[in-house]
Amino acid sequence: MMDVRERIKAANDAAVHCIIDSDPYWVDVQPAGECVEGLEDHMILHSGPPIDFEDMVALHRRGMVSAMLFEHWARDEKEAVERIRAGEVKIESALDHNTVGAGTGIITKSVMMNVIQDRHSGKRACTFPAEGPYQGGLCGWGLYSEEIAENLRIMREELFPVLREVLHKRGGMALKPILAEGMQMGDENHTRQTAADLLFDKQILPDLFALDRPKEEILKVVRYIVETPRFFHCYGQGASRSALMAADDTPYSTMVIAICGNGVEFGIKVAGMPGQWFTAPAPMMEGRYTSTHYTKADQLPWIGDSCVVECAGMGGFAAAASPIVCNLRGMTLKESIAQTREMEEISIGKNPNFPIPNLDFSFLPVGIDIRLVLKTGISPAIHGGMFNREGGLIGAGMARVPMECFQKAMKAFSVQYAG
């Protein structure tokens, strides 16, 4: 038993340093079919643990249909549903590939993706970019219309070639400095990216204006960037995912490398048990609604993969960095700090890249350990948006990862490693 404990300790130290030592760079923009590993033709990825079409919530089923129409795999909704039910498309979880499915997480081969490379490990993660300042879209919301299709075309043919030129000229963009400085300026990099957006703009805008391109082309890209709220959100997810992919398949590690929900089930993955899901019913979020008209009856249980950032020590683990986010749920500064201190009790270590002023410049906790979760009875806090069952955001709040996920994971770990 002592030998097993020593192996776990060494494995967790190696796994958590995949996060601490990561060096994420935004390096390219490519179609998903060229950068998402294992993504085949006639395959649709979605957020959360694997789930059959018939068991999906309405938002995910709508996303499947939207993907069929977007790729021209069906002429209308009726044909799309028929072909899906006939098994003519594969439906898989985004987190079973080198990507992240925020919101509904709809990804097909033609979706344009930001490519994030961890230059420490070489791992590449892909995340779909924000679809602009308006509400709605294919990837995050599972919507489809002629206007959405045209917007995606503009992004692919007019916006991203310009951004790609900038990236290639500068040799990529380092993301960790933006994440670190942003969290010293009030972001927790899940619900809030206000500072990160400004730091990103400060880097990218001068390079855009230096391009030898028509002014209108450049201004169109500038407007897309500066008018899109939380533009940097996808980059934080990509940075987190690339680091966590490096930790995956670390024998004997009890560190969590993925947490996500599909509106029905919630699941986690553990570094020492690659490819395995441990699930429980998806939790409801607690927070403030955008209108008094909304109640829990309108709210969907957790859907989305964006809490991958919590696995990397941001979001709910960085509450002390962003009391303004916690205040949206009626929390005080003292309570925000207490939330981060609580997360320390279930974490493998601290990340020296992220000193936080409200912690007297102590570092943020990082590396969720399934053993510590069960020992303390403390479940990870995750921040995020509250989805309406019919679609759209109706608030922001927090949830706790179901304890049943960790119980199942620990049981499987014991069978695999302790005999």
Tell me the C-alpha distance between 136 and 222, whole Å. 20
d(CA 124, CA 30): 12
For residue 100, give the nearest of 123, 127, 60 by alpha carbon. 127
Report the pLDDT value the prediction gives residue 215, as an integer from 0 to 100. Answer: 95
- Residue spans in the chain of domains classed CATH 3.90.1710.10: 26-235
Pairing relationship of beta strands 286-289 and 278-281 according to DSSP bridges? unpaired
| Residue 46 backbone dihedrals phi, psi, to 5 degrees | -140, 170
**DSSP 3-state of 131:** coil
Report pLDDT digits (tens) over 42-57: 999 999 999 999 999 9
Round the CA-based radius of gyration of the chain to a whole number and report it.
20
pLDDT at 134: 64
CA pair distance 217, 205, nearest whole angstrom? 13
Tokens representing 266 are 């919630």
Q: Which two tokens stand for residue 195?
A: 């500072």
pLDDT (tens digit per residue) in 120-170: 999 999 999 999 876 568 998 888 999 999 999 999 999 999 999 999 999
Distance between CA atoms of 381 and 372, rounded to whole angstroms? 14
**Does residue 274 contact residue 149 with C-beta atoms inside 8 Å?**
no
Beta bridge partners of 174: 25
Q: Which helix (H) or strand (E) holds 395?
A: strand 393-400
> Class of the 248-418 domain?
alpha beta
Q: Please give the backbone phi and psi of residue 302, each rounded to the nearest 5 degrees, phi first.
A: -50, 130
Low-confidence ranges of the chain (pLDDT < 70): 1-2, 134-136, 419
| CA atoms of 359 and 376, how far apart (whole Å) | 22
Residue of 140, 48, 51, 62 whose CA lies nearest to 103: 140
Specify the pLDDT at position 419: 64
- Whole-angstrom distance, CA of residue 334 vs CA of residue 358: 9
pLDDT at residue 280 in the model = 98
> Tell me, what's the pLDDT at 135?
57
Question: What are the residues whose beta carbons fall under 8 Å from the beta carbon of 316, sequence distance 6 or more?
Answer: 188, 190, 307, 310, 339, 343, 380, 381, 382, 383, 398
What tokens were used for 261? 């929900």
Give the CB-side neighbour count of residue 406, counting CA atoms within 13 A. Answer: 21
Residue ranges matching CATH 3.90.1700.10 in the chain: 248-418
Helices (H) and strands (E) in the chain, counts: 15, 16
Percent of the chain that is helix, strand, coil (3-state, to 5): 45, 20, 35
Place of tokens 């899906």: 84
* Residue among 100, 33, 15, 35 at smallest CA distance from 274: 15
β-sheet bridge partners, residue 124: 117
Is residue 40 packed enough to be buried (19+ CB in 10 Å), middle (13-18) or exposed (0-12)? exposed
For 381, phi then psi, to 5°, come to: -90, 130
Strand, helix or coil for residue 125: strand
How far apart CA 378 and CA 401 sit, in angstroms, is 10
- What is the CATH number assigned to the segment(s) 26-235? 3.90.1710.10
